[in-house]
């Protein structure tokens, strides 16, 4: 397995304190992970931390999608890790890479596109607006879609979207 040093540096930079180095593979994260439990460790946070720390980029990104996208982001691993490693921060970096490679599950591209076009992950709909009125609720204050789209475009994030 080859170490990708540039990738390894990015992983280490995620934590300014570099605490990920102190992972001693105790497995407490995986033992407490709800997805590891229901998948017989097909999703395995400890393994992800090890691969990330060693810079095994290929092992991470050529594996089945579930290897990184199985996480339900419950932040339990962050709490139980004896070394105070913020695992989900590292996993976020891995997922951002996967998105940029075009390899993430469809949901993530769809949600991003919805936010890009509507400034909301759940856009407003006439039927719900009527229901709000029936319930005596004020109209939702409309977000400035143009401003948000400009912000994301300036940052080049529109380029990561799919299905244009």
**Which stretch in 72-80, 96-104, 141-149, 156-164 sits in contact with ligand SF4 by CB under 6 A?**
72-80
**Which stretch in 8-16, 24-32, 94-102, 125-133 sits in contact with ligand SF4 by CB under 6 A?**
24-32
Provide the 10 A C-beta neighbour count for residue 8: 16
**Which stretch in 1-9, 25-33, 137-145, 153-161 sits in contact with ligand SF4 by CB under 6 A?**
25-33
CA dist., res. 10 & res. 124, Å (int): 38
Minimum CB separation of residue 50 from other proteins in Å reads 20
Buried b vs exposed e over 30-64: b needs ≥16 C-beta within 10 Å?
bebbebbeeeeeebbbbbbbebbbbbbbebbbeee
Binding residues (CB under 6 A) for ligand SF4: these are: 23-29, 33-35, 45-46, 49, 71-77, 81-83, 85, 87-88, 121
């Amino acid at each position: 397995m080859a170490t990708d040093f540039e990738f390894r540096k990015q992983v280490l930079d995620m934590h300014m304190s570099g605490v990920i180095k102190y992972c001693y593979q105790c497995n407490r994260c995986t033992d407490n992970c709800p997805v590891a439990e229901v998948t017989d460790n097909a999703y395995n946070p400890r393994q992800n931390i090890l691969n990330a720390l060693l810079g095994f980029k290929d092992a991470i990104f050529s594996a089945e999608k579930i290897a990184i996208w199985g996480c339900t982001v419950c932040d339990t691993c962050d709490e139980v890790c004896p070394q105070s490693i913020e695992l989900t921060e590292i996993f976020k970096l891995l997922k951002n890479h996967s998105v940029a490679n075009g390899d993430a599950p469809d949901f993530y591209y769809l949600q991003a596109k919805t936010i890009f076009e509507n400034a909301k992950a759940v856009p407003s709909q006439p039927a719900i607006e009527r229901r709000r009125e029936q319930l005596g609720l004020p109209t939702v204050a409309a977000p400035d879609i143009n401003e948000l789209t400009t912000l994301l475009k300036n940052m080049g994030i529109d380029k990561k979207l799919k299905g244009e």
